[in-house]
Structure 1
């Protein structure tokens, strides 16, 4: 019963990049070059020597790239789906407006770089070689069709019409990053009976007693009964998911745990949490992560514009906040806040070791809270794992900047999907102190409502 029936195989080799549309220098037009996945178009073109002046200092290239279209393509070997087996293609990040095809059959269209995608291809995957292609159109051209300001020439505001990182459009004084490409991992996943679709542990501490409520959502290929087991700090619990149902909650009581503390106030103690999904006679899937037990309540925020006046009633962290008051494990602390931006507008170029070095630099400078600005993305697993290990608190802004985002389809549906995905992902991290506010009138209440359901203790609005 030790083997897991869930199998995951990356598709990161053999990719090519081809220019398929839009005005470009003659050496680029219709050219096909090797591509790295995860990656980005400007980096692939530069490695191939097709950018005459090289990329800009920030890794991007000339403005003509904003209007071009591109194809990523590769082949991978597979076997056909067996009876009762599911076969999925999974993308961790697509930047941004794309059509995905397997063996020349379109399986999806995407419009959001802030979320992952999963596509059922059990009817399409074939024995031997399979061809996977991703065709990207200009996100700027797409956004111009959605956002009125972008349509009339203010391309720096084009992010309001498409779920692409706002910073990449250059609205804040820097050059725009004309990125496109597969910026996250790609893989084929094969499974049967059921898999773990979402694992959302909510972790609390009362004295030296820890509790983990593991909220689980499964995707099913059959209707048989399932059991979820959760183990942490030497304690174990289980829960049944009856036939046909897709959600369950496992509560693990862990007495006598060590608390997680921010740096300078105690050890940042972490524990391994293991969640297993079983059918009657098989272990179907497993989820492993590190968590920390702590209590934290935001009690005050000092803003630059307020001349040091502490926020009354419900404190919130804004771009002006320079210090917060937090009661951690019953101890009141005052912590310095610094803004955190992505280390590069080309996200695929950011290495985990560079993230760690920057967080360590901030920690050594006496910073206690990193405020992740909404001009970027929900920060990476490497960022949050580093902050957990180093005892650095985080305030995470949802990726909305200012006001004026398009209400309704397609932005609204994408905003719901990305918020659900990332709040579930970030909820177990002891480093996550709270979420920042969303200023946009169309999406502030929507995002807050999702957080209220999935991670209420960190809601500040």
Structure 2
């Protein structure tokens, strides 16, 4: 049987002796990256705190050499291979002084034949990395510069674009052995690749295994392919190294996204045998489902409808970036926490954004098990990419590798060619700068669709995000397929989301700073100020602070201090995204999904994320949960001065309900009541026109009653113009198992009531946020925190500002 042995111990890393910080043989983590090694050795400051990132530019401009030693007891094998699941990025691999090969692509796996270099006994392994800047700038100089949204050469190296910094991320473009490395030994034959393609034929699950072997010599071997108890055996005669093997699974159960059904998974295996001896094996887990993308033109343009098992799915999505800027810190538990947070927010779809990486096995395995749909971008983002060699061959190799690697996962339902590059070519003044130089079109319209069809063949491909479906159309045309909406954040008030009538929104977002405890981690300025030097360093978006202030000026009262600024900006972010989602959901089935930018952060930063870089929930997360609820009611303007009530039912059953709503004055006195009977078909929306007398004017507002779905509101004025009474309430904190129950009883209107327990305990979590109450109503917030529960002073602090906040406090 083949043997696979990880080589993760005993590594050191050495840098250039003339670098600003000389590094000679410090301990190195594998998998890992040089920045975490330097941090562990106390040679650099934490790049996440204040502006320490600024001082680390030298790291990405330095060559680094990793070394380790290992022993081999039996080198007498037909095959001895060194296998790297990820090298970041430009490296020369040597064993005992023999160069095994060179790499120039972070996004693919490498296998090196080490049989002639390996020794019985002690062995020395070296991986020498060239600075990513040295390589990328040399390629840029050779091929000619190309446009990039950021002044970095990241489009001239097959490395995660966001490593070079983004408008939410740091520039920590280091190097490292970022995924596992191992020594593999084998006899006679080994399995080189397995691509299991699943299909359904009249209720029978069919798995077509495409298997490629590597043989040391001409030999007859048996190939055993199985799915659960069902198996097929074929003979590969001498000289044959590939086979297509069909295995049938009667009465296969369908895999569904978590909001549609169950996620049955089947154990699949491939074994190569020589007589009674097992030579090598491959295992994976598969699911049976179909994934289709309906983009056939209709009378109104072109839809973008995802169908799973033939059923259209309204995509309740979020965009995903690498969950840490230092990738080795992303362990399976962290991935699971983030995905579960997504599910609890009502999310059914995650788009893996093209400025990062092809996501990990841990990520896809948990999406399979949890029932999260995934759209994977190929890693191209916001830049023109050269198609000349070596890049064309590298892109082909990485695409083939990852299409095969990710093929087993039923959660993966779409492939997309790039992020914003086709849009950039149309609108970002690229063409004059490019002249006749390549920019990536050959990848998106030719190479990648061919490879998806050839290697995978079971999932749809779309050339770009956004893309309208035809080269003669503007790529961000809202009547055609997928769009990105960024004019709102960049130029307009967030109420302008309602001016859009898109078919599918693949990106839209609104910023806010992270939670208080995370701000305390990232900034040491005293006192806290929104425009302090360190806060501004952690605001990477162009004119970001000004855009935040524009939103505050349009909607909320003037801020009195940093606490107000932090709370109000977070409220504005949550309101903006909830308004957008509810508007897009009200347009179904014309609009088929919204994918919010973004779920997560990779470090502590002011950004568009719902979950900040320290894994804490911002108010936006709670707004996502409300906006993506299975049953949702919202008030929507009709464009002619009228107002509609829109009810959305995202379940498989009819929704029959009676909705009560009230028209109130600024004091919270009920001026009129109404009851509406709802009958909403499964997976549908219902629009009801309100009578003119029900529409609030001159400081009045509408609010639904305490129903079993998120409360809907409609205000005739912005908070800054509402003559709200000063917030009065009674707050009582009671210690309960695992934390504190905080019950707030309103004596006045309380607008967007929030509790921020992280100000008292960084690990504390609250179960709800953004609650609006009328006089006499009450809400109970459950705070999970043993530290707060154990301290009477902290428990009391939950009942008052700045922990307990309302817009009108």
TM-score norm. by structure 1 comes to 0.89
Query: Kindly tell me: are residues 151 and 412 of structure 1, through their superposed partners in 2, closer, same or farther at Cα, counting changes over 3 Å?
Result: closer
**Aligned match of 1:336:** 316
- Between Structure 1 and Structure 2, which shows a larger proportion of strand residues? 1
Q: Give the 5 Å matches for 1:416-427.
A: 416-427=396-407
Contact residue 20 and residue 71 of structure 1 kept, 8 A: no
2:185 alignment counterpart = 190
Cα deviation, residue 182, structure 1: 0.7
Taking a change above 3 Å as real, the CA distance of residues 328 and 138 of structure 1, as seen in their structure-2 partners, is same
Cα deviations by residue, 1:204-240 (Å, 9 ceiling, x for unpaired): 1235311100100111111112221111132111222
Shift of residue 30, structure 1, vs aligned partner: 4.1
TM-superposed deviation, 1:270: 0.7
Aligned to 1:304: none
Which of the residues 14, 18, 27 maps onto 2:10? 14
Which of the numbers 246, 252, 257 marks the counterpart of 2:252?
257
TM-score (norm 2): 0.52
**Displacement after TM superposition at 1:157 (Å):** 3.7
Contact 1:79 1:125 in 2 (8 A): no
Q: Could you tell me which residue of structure 2 aligns to residue 305 of structure 1?
A: none
C-alpha distance in 1, partners of 2:360/2:327? 10
Corresponding residue for residue 79 of structure 2? 86
Specify the alignment match of 1:456 in structure 2: 457
Corresponding residue for residue 692 of structure 2: none
The corresponding residue for 1:65 is 59
- Once the two structures are superposed, what CA deviation does each residue of 1:275-295 show, in whole Å capped at 9, x if it has no partner? 111123421111111111112
Of residues 224, 227, 230, the one that matches 1:229 is 224
Please give the secondary structure, in 1, of the residue aligned with 2:461: coil
Which residue, 302, 307, 310 being the options, matches 1:312?
A: 302
Aligned counterparts, 1:291-306, within 5 A? 291-299=286-294
| Structure 1 residue 127 displacement after superposition | 1.5
Distance in 1 (CA, whole Å) between partners of 2:201 and 2:257 is 17
* C-alpha contact 1:210 1:256 (8 A) present in aligned 2: yes
- Quote how far apart the aligned CAs of 1:20 are: 2.9
Match of 1:321 in 2: none
- The answer as to whether partners of 2:148 and 2:384 remain within 8 angstroms in 1 is no
Tell me the distance in 2 between the aligned counterparts of 1:115 and 1:128.
30
Change (3 A) 1:200 1:21: farther
Matched residue of 1:264: which SS? coil
Note the alpha carbon deviations across 1:41-85, whole angstroms, 9 max, x for none.
Answer: 01011111111x233359966111121111110100013532x52
| Aligned counterpart for 1:141 among listed residues 134, 147, 150 | 134
Unaligned segments of structure 2, at least 5 residues:
423-439, 463-809
Corresponding residue of 1:54: 46
Q: 2:135 is paired with a residue of what secondary structure?
A: helix
Superposition deviation, residue 271 in structure 1 = 1.0
Cα distance in structure 2, aligned partners of 1:446 and 1:197: 23
* Structure 2 Cα separation of the partners of residues 458 and 201 of structure 1: 13
State the Cα deviation string for residues 301-359 of structure 1 (Å, max 9, x = none).
Answer: 9xxxxxxx98626x3xxxxxxxxx33322333322121111101221111111111111
Q: Alpha-carbon deviation of 1:150?
A: 6.3
Structure 1 unpaired stretches of 5+:
302-308, 316-324
| SS of aligned partner of 1:442 | helix
2:208 corresponds to 1:213 = yes
Q: 2:337 aligns with which of 351, 357, 360?
A: 357
Note if contact 1:212-1:252 (Cα within 8 Å) is conserved in structure 2: yes
**Structure 2 match to 1:116:** 109
Higher RCO (C-alpha 8 Å, min separation 6): 1
Q: 2:412 aligns with which of 429, 432, 450?
A: 432
Distance in 1 (CA, whole Å) between partners of 2:177 and 2:391 is: 20
State the secondary structure of the residue aligned to 2:243. Answer: strand
Give the conservation status (yes or no) of the 8 Å contact 2:291–2:458: no
Asked if the contact 2:149/2:382 (under 8 Å) is kept, the reply is no
Q: Give the number of aligned pairs.
A: 435
For residue 300 of structure 1, report the CA deviation from its aligned partner. 5.8
Matched, 1:374 2:369: no
Deviation at 1:264, TM superposition (A): 1.8
* Counterpart-to-counterpart distance in 2, 1:330 and 1:447: 25
